[in-house]
Structure 1
Amino acid sequence: MLLEGKNAIIYGGGGSVGSAVARAFAREGARVFLAGRTMATLEKVAVQIDGHAAQVDALDEDQVNAHADAVVAQAGSIDISMNVISDTDVQGTPMVEMTLDDYIRPVITALSSKFLTSRAAARHMMKQGGGVILAFGGSVERSPLMHDYNFGGIQVTFDAVESMRRQLAIELGRYGIRVLSLRTSGIIDTIPEGYENRDKIARSILVQTLTGKAATLEDVGNVAAFAASDQARTITGTEINMTAGAALD
């Protein structure tokens, strides 16, 4: 198994992406610690994977630090940390009609939570001599063909997180810590059934790909498990491109 003997924290582990990653990590032998604000959803996933659930607000410095310390006290290490909490973004409204608060909120939320959770994990990983910090999102393609899709502040958010990821990778590499992002062109599975623009968004995702197929939640889990494993030990400071050709590197 790819992650046998590894201890992983997943912030936002009760959500669609977090739970998919949690299932993949557990399948590959990791001991999974789910963290989030809603215990009901966390516990549902924890039961499925024989994991651990804890109520943690990833925007609360004291809670994040205390939980990381508790995981190390219980399990002995933090080998993998992944933050996939909601960025609280507002989409569908043209920028010129948005409030400043709605536009900038996801930037503040994402950078604050990823700074706190990455820092908490890194402090333990530095002592251990290694670990993996994973982000989700990656840079976003801008195309004139997408003028009908108003993404609000989420594109700026992803770019900001990528800048943070590069800086972390440079500063933490000497300690054997790898920092990576998983980048998709959008996951159709995460669009709620019945959402009025679901078909339109799905088509916009698929039309950009070279294969006519987009990444699924299961794909994200599988790639995350590989990225966190020792088989990917030479990969750091970069994105793993899961866009099916929507973004050509």
Structure 2
Amino acid sequence: MLLENKNAVIYGGGGAIGGAVARAFAREGARVHLAGRTRKSLEEVAEAIRAAGGAAETDQVDALDEAAVDRHADAVAERAGSLDISFNLISYGDVQGTPLAELALADFEQPVHNAVRTMFLTSRAAARHMIRQKSGVILAFGGYGDPPRNHFMGGLQVAFGALESLRRNLAAELGPHGIRVLALQTGGVPETIPTGFDWADAITEEIAGQTLLGRPASLADVGNAAVFAASDMARSMTATAINITGGSVVD
């Protein structure tokens, strides 16, 4: 198994993407520590992992709260013996559908503030333990790049750009300590569209139409790519993104 004996913290582990990554990590032998604000959704993911023979723990943590993030990381490292993987997959509270020229300042600022704050806090908390271990992997998630045409993304694309800059800085500073920092880049995951959303089919078709493969990444694809990024199979990879856009972004 690719992640045997690894301890992985997944912030937002009760969400669609966080849950998919957690299940993939557990399948490959990692003990997953699911952190988030909603206990019920965390427990649902953890129960599915345990039912499949994996190991999962849950903790109610606000990943925007500095003290809470630090306490949780310290507790995981103490009780598990290491903190090997940190992946932040919380939502940023972005407001979409309104042109920037009409968007309220608070709505624009919120995803930028939340994304940078939570990624900094969780990465810093993990890095303090990983530096002592002289190993570790910090993962980011985002769809940075050119803004999609005919969509009003609010501050979300700006947030992704800020995360990309933070990821580069983290990789540069933490690399000498044996810590890798990578991002997973998707062009959108249609399975995350809420059930019953009026434009779900049209959005799915549009996302697929922008790819070279004719299909976007699935939740399973995201989980598998995350396993690879966190494993020793990718031991020479840092300071870059793993492109799982299906070719909608051409590097």
- TM-score after normalising by structure 2: 0.96
2:53 maps to none
CA RMSD of aligned residues (A): 0.9
Q: Is contact 2:143-2:157 (8 Å) kept?
A: no
Higher mean alpha-carbon deviation, 24-33 vs 190-199, is at 190-199
The partner residue of 1:248 within 241, 247, 250 is 250
Q: 2:100 aligns with which of 95, 98, 101?
A: 95
Q: Supply the distance in 2 between the matched residues of 1:101 and 1:122 (Cα, whole angstroms).
A: 31
Shift of residue 140, structure 1, vs aligned partner: 2.6
Q: Which residue of 2 aligns with 1:46?
A: 46
Contact persistence 1:138–1:181 (CA under 8 A): no
Quote the residue 1:182 is aligned against: 184
Q: How far off its partner does 1:202 sit?
A: 1.5
User: Separation in 1 of the partners of 2:201 and 2:101?
Assistant: 25
Q: Decide which of 188, 196, 199 is 1:197's aligned counterpart.
A: 199
How far off is 1:193 after superposition? 2.2
**Given the alignment of the two structures, is residue 29 of structure 1 paired with residue 29 of structure 2, yes or no?**
yes
Q: d(CA) in 2 for partners of 1:178 and 1:224?
A: 13
Query: What amino acid does structure 2 have at the position aligned with 1:119?
Result: R
- Tell me what 2:126 maps to: 121
Counterpart pick for 1:76 among 78, 81, 85: 81
Alignment partners' CA distance in 2, 1:138 and 1:237: 16
- Report SS of the residue matched to 2:160: helix
Distance 1:49 1:124 in 2: 26
Structure 1 spans left out of the alignment, 5+ residues: none
Number of the residue aligned with 2:62: 57
State the one-letter code of the partner of 2:133.
Q
SS of the aligned residue for 1:47 comes to helix
User: TM-score under structure 1 normalisation?
Assistant: 0.97
How far did 1:138 drift? 4.1
Deviations 1:88-127 (A, max 9, x none): 1011111112101101100000100110000000000000
Separation in 1, partners of 2:113, 2:99:
20
- 3-state SS, counterpart of residue 91 of structure 1: coil
Q: How big is the shift at 1:216?
A: 0.4
**What is the DSSP-based 3-state SS (H/G/I as helix, E as strand, rest coil) of the residue aligned with 1:196?**
coil
* 2:72 pairs with one of 63, 67, 76: 67
Q: Secondary structure at the match of 2:34?
A: strand
Q: Hey, which bits of structure 1, 4+ residues long, moved more than 4 A?
A: none
Determine if contact 1:138/1:162 at 8 Å carries over to the other structure.
no
Per the TM alignment, residue 30 of structure 1 is displaced from its structure 2 partner at its CA by: 0.1
CA distance in 1, matches of 2:41, 2:76: 20
Please say if 1:12 is aligned against 2:18: no
Whole-Å separation in 1 of the counterparts to 2:37 and 2:185: 25
The equivalent of 1:139 in structure 2 is 144
Distance 2:47 2:204 in 1: 31
Partner of 1:3: 3
